[in-house]
Amino acid sequence: MESKTNVEQRLAESFKKLAIKTSIEKITIKEITDGAGVIRPTFYNHFQDKYELLEWLIRTEILDPVIPLMKEGDLRESLIQIFTNLMQEKEFYMKVVRLEGQNSCEMITRKFVKEVLLIFINEQVGDKKAAKKGLTTDMVAEYYAQSIAFVIMEWIKLNMSLSPEQMADIFRYITSHSMEEVIAEMN
């Protein structure tokens, strides 16, 4: 009997091939299952719809590999790994970035980046209370998840023209300087 992960991977590969050729909105479950060599009910044993499959792809291929780096507190290497993982499937993510609405690549990415950041923050903070009243780990994770997701989406839209290292450095620069400092250096 074939493992669950193997079937999911085959469905994912079929989905990626189709997404490169046509818009994601137009891809049918039948096309995905035909490409994976499984029957339609098999798809629904693993995923609710193609958007859940997309979420699985982003989580397993882009974000899960960086969790060990995040736990070690290596944010720069985590960002480099995210950008590198995206670049390996450039054609696919150039199509995925066009999705809008609740199933958009940005919304999915932000959701999972927040989860990964919460792991990192909780590893760093533990049970300590924030020095600033009202500042919560959830707020910090959401703020940086939105920032990271935005930078990722912009990078993809710009055809991934900068290296993963350059993008990690840009993100680190922006988040470690005040807006006034960044603007002053742009002049």
pLDDT per residue as tens, the chain (187 positions) = 566 679 999 999 999 999 999 999 999 999 999 999 999 999 999 999 999 999 999 999 988 898 888 878 788 898 999 999 999 999 999 999 888 877 888 888 899 889 888 888 887 777 777 667 778 888 989 999 999 999 999 999 899 999 999 999 999 998 898 989 989 888 7
User: What is the C-alpha end-to-end distance of the chain, expressed in Å?
Assistant: 63
DSSP state of 53: H
Q: What domains, with CATH codes, occur in the chain?
A: 4-47 (1.10.10.60), 68-186 (1.10.357.10)
Give 76's contacts (C-beta < 8 A, 6+ positions apart).
168, 169, 172
The per-residue pLDDT for 5 is 75
The per-residue pLDDT for 4 is 67
The per-residue pLDDT for 130 is 65
C-alpha distances (whole Å) from 167 to each of 48, 93, 156 are 34, 16, 11
pTM, full prediction: 0.85
Q: How far apart (Å, rounded) are the C-alpha atoms in residues 133 and 52?
A: 37
Q: How far apart (Å, rounded) are the C-alpha atoms in residues 81 and 96?
A: 19
